[in-house]
Amino acid sequence: MYVYYNPNPNWILVGDCVIRALCKLLQKDWLAIYTGICAQGAVMYDMPSSNRVWGAYLRKMGFVKEILPNICPDCYTVRDFCLDHPYGKYVLMLNGHVVAVEDGHYYDTWDSGDETPMFYWRKEQ
């Protein structure tokens, strides 16, 4: 399920997880996503790393925010999410991290499969 993915031109591994995730799911290069989120931050007078800024950018790109069922909030993992969502594009918000999920695979610079998602964004068809 895990696929190593790092579109950062300088191979940076931390601090740009939202950008990396959206590169994968929107099939755009790192600079295009970065400048899009920065422009969104400028419009909102907030930092591009703010959840509300990149959330607004995701909405513009056709994503809808969803809440995970509260069945087992501490034991449900990224891997579990992938098994439950074998099709579609998703952005999972973890504790201090964001990961891309597409068609049952998660794309990241490290194996975040044991991490617990807090909520997610689903790309509308």
Distances from the Cα of 107 to the Cαs of 1, 24, 104, in angstroms?
9, 8, 10
Cβ–Cβ under 8 Å, residues 94 and 117: yes
- pLDDT under 50: residue ranges of the chain: none
HSE, CB side, 13 Å, CA atoms: give it for residue 53.
Answer: 20
- pLDDT of amino acid 15: 84
Reported pTM: 0.93
Cβ–Cβ under 8 Å, residues 48 and 108: no
- pLDDT of amino acid 42: 98
- pLDDT of amino acid 74: 79
Number of domains in the chain: 1
Domain limits at 40?
2-123
Query: Which residues have C-beta within 8 Å of that of residue 36, sequence separation ≥ 6?
Result: 57
pLDDT tens readout for residues 98-119:
999 999 999 999 999 999 999 9
Other Cβ atoms closer than 10 A to 50: 14
